[in-house]
Amino acid sequence: QVQLVESGGGLVQPGKSLRLSCVTSTSGFSFDVMEWYRQGPGTQRELVAQAFRFGSNQYADSVKGRFTISRDNPRNTMYLQMNDLKPEDTAVYFCSAKQGVNEYWGQGTQVTVSS
């Protein structure tokens, strides 16, 4: 069973940065796409960023220019660098990895942006 573990969340002031990590229990090279999602209070889970094994990274309009997704396949790790954080970025952030028809999820890490 593939496991994903997120870390790096926390409480941060508006305008500051955080970097989230997602470590997988199997080789990062095996995933066709790895993604970050988030779910804020009272909202549906939304796709934030995608990193494809082949192809360009994709971002939600709300985070373009502020967030950067990256994959370090030899280290089985995916990152989400979040800059210029806003209160509306407050959410539980989840990582996901797709391998063929299989999809795996982490447990999530809380990010709170507040002064």
- 94 near 35, Cβ under 8 Å? no
Token code pair at residue 78: 């995916």
pLDDT of residue 115: 95
pLDDT in tens, 43-53: 999 999 999 98
Task: Note the pLDDT tens digit of each residue in 67-102.
Answer: 999 999 899 999 999 999 999 999 999 999 999 899
CB distance 10 to 113 below 8 Å: no
Percent of the chain with pLDDT over 70: 100
